């Protein structure tokens, strides 16, 4: 059965983009300046539409576990997958648990309502699917992880003070826009719902603008962090969102997930700065930090009527921003390069750049092991033992499977071979890496391509395969860097051969 025929095109939209004549009129009235930036932003986002289940299944490789981006993995009640709708269009696909929304018509109508709310501070909703008992949402994909990961599980550098202030302000902007569009309830606002786009700008997930089910809970996090009124009545009100915003402020200030009741006890103890993340030392003025802590405490008041509104929060947080002109990716230490394919690429490099796995397979097959400079011949000088014979037989099995495009068996044989060989083989890692790509496991393919580089540090093939795996993972800037590195080593090799 296909998606239900409740086409969203007939639903009136308060945010419909103006026609070209209307835009011309606006430009004329404004003297060519101050054209509505928000309307321009809306036009950049794909129109909301209903997808078929087969489209989303294909986009997520059959909802494979490798595509899951929920930080709780498969344990999440509603799992989020990374999907690719076409060559360069990545999306986040939220798959609700079975029977979350029995009424398909209601689900599509509510999703379409959220889909009309567009803003540059939101990870905008671009579609949904209601087919059989499946209910899915489709949103813009944000490649640079969640606030939770950057605060609590970072592996490079902690977020700077200035970036944390920016997160607080941008999320307040997102909530203010939702209020203006009469979507005043945000369900379960927390650090997992704040995402970072390709520019490093923080955005609020639109998934939280819909409940987890028609009649289900609005909060799924630890009860210690839920608003008091929800604990008393099970109901969410607009002021509940302010309380949750206060918990995010606490996260940003402390770099830890501190229960609000504990934080309020510390604040009342007149030693509020004890809450501050030690990694921020020297980055902020104490007065600013104290005021931000006081702002968080106002949001966390027990009585909903005592909490400030979002307009007040915007006006209070804005003055703390001291580096508005600095791009977010700079503040976060992210590399942001134009994805330009280098000109000096070998046929293998070009095949990797266009992600042509079949061509890559053909080239690796023809190249064989020649780049290992006689590694195969070393076996003939070793003492001939059963162990050596087993190793050769295993290698042969892997090579035959690789030749015959039996990639699951190729992975199995090459994995066994890696454990047997006294010296690692770059070619084996390269072949196993491509086999992993062929069976939809780009993370493992990237690991093998990196291992191949360890074996032969300036081997162009290793860099090209890393570029291919990174592209499959949606990391286009990093993939481009690897292509450039591979091309550079290609040139270096050619120059060396000319001199000889």
Q: C-alpha angle 146/149/153, rounded to 5°?
A: 175
CA distance 302 to 227: 8
Please choose, from the candidates 245, 260, 254, the residue with its C-alpha nearest in 3D space to the C-alpha of residue 273.
254
Please choose, from the candidates 301, 246, 229, 239, the residue with its C-alpha nearest in 3D space to the C-alpha of residue 268.
301
Asked about 265 being catalytic, the answer comes back as no
Range 436-463 burial, b when 16+ CB lie within 10 A, else e: bbbeebbebbbbbbbbbbebbeebbbbb
CA distance 146 to 306: 30
Give me the residues paired with residue 126 across strands.
none
The encoded tokens of residue 132 equal 């059989």
Is the Cβ–Cβ distance between 133 and 191 less than 8 Å? no
Is the Cβ–Cβ distance between 246 and 234 less than 8 Å? no
CA distance 169 to 151: 17
Is the Cβ–Cβ distance between 426 and 462 less than 8 Å? yes
Among residues 36, 188, 448, 478, the one annotated as catalytic is: 188
Stated as kind and residue range, the H or E segment containing 203 is strand 202-205
Is the Cβ–Cβ distance between 469 and 462 less than 8 Å? no
Give me the residues paired with residue 57 across strands.
none
Please choose, from the candidates 239, 144, 148, 256, the residue with its C-alpha nearest in 3D space to the C-alpha of residue 200.
144
Is the Cβ–Cβ distance between 247 and 139 less than 8 Å? no
Residues labelled catalytic: 188
């Amino acid at each position: 059965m296909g998606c239900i025929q409740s086409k969203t095109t007939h639903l009136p939209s308060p945010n419909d983009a103006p026609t070209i004549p209307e835009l011309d009129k606006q430009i004329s009235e404004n003297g060519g300046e101050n054209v509505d930036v928000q309307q321009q932003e809306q036009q950049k986002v794909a129109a909301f539409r209903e997808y078929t289940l087969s489209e989303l299944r294909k986009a997520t490789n059959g909802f494979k576990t490798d595509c899951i981006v929920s930080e709780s993995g498969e344990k999440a009640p509603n799992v989020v997958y990374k999907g690719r709708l076409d060559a360069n269009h990545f999306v986040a696909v939220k798959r609700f648990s079975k029977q979350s929304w029995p009424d398909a018509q209601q689900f599509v109508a509510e999703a379409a309502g959220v889909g009309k709310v567009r803003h540059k501070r939101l990870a905008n909703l671009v579609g949904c699917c209601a087919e059989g008992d499946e209910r899915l949402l489709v949103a813009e994909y944000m490649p640079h992880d969640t606030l939770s990961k950057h605060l609590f599980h970072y592996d490079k550098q902690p977020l700077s003070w200035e970036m944390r202030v920016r997160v607080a302000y941008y999320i307040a902007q997102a909530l203010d826009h939702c209020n203006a569009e009469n979507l005043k309830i945000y369900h379960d606002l927390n650090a997992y719902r704040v995402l970072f786009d390709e520019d490093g700008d923080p955005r609020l997930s639109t998934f939280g603008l819909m409940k987890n089910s028609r009649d289900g809970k609005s909060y799924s996090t630890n009860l210690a962090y839920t608003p008091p009124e929800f604990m008393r009545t099970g109901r969410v009100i607009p002021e509940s969102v302010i309380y949750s915003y206060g918990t995010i402020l606490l996260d940003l200030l402390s770099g830890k997930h501190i229960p609000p009741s504990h934080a309020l006890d510390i604040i009342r103890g007149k030693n509020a700065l004890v809450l501050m993340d030690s990694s921020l030392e020297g980055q902020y003025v104490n007065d600013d930090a104290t005021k931000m802590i006081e702002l968080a405490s106002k949001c966390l008041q027990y009585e909903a009527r005592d909490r400030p509104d979002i307009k007040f929060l915007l006006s209070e947080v804005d003055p703390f921003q001291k580096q508005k002109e600095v791009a977010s990716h700079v503040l976060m230490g992210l590399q942001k390069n134009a994805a330009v394919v280098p000109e000096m690429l070998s046929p293998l490099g070009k095949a990797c750049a266009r992600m042509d796995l079949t061509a890559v397979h053909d080239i690796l097959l023809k190249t064989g092991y020649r780049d290992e400079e006689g590694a195969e011949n070393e076996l003939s000088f070793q003492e001939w033992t059963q162990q050596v014979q087993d190793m050769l037989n295993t290698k042969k099995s892997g090579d035959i499977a690789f030749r015959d495009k039996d990639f699951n068996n190729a992975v199995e044989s090459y994995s066994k071979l890696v454990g047997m060989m006294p010296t690692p083989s770059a070619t084996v890692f390269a072949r196993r890496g491509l086999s992993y790509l062929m069976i939809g496991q780009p993370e493992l393919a990237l690991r093998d391509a990196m291992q191949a580089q360890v074996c032969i540090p300036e081997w162009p093939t290793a860099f090209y395969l890393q570029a291919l795996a990174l592209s499959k993972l949606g990391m286009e800037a990093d993939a481009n860097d690897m292509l450039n590195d591979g091309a550079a080593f290609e040139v270096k090799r050619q120059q060396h051969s000319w001199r000889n």
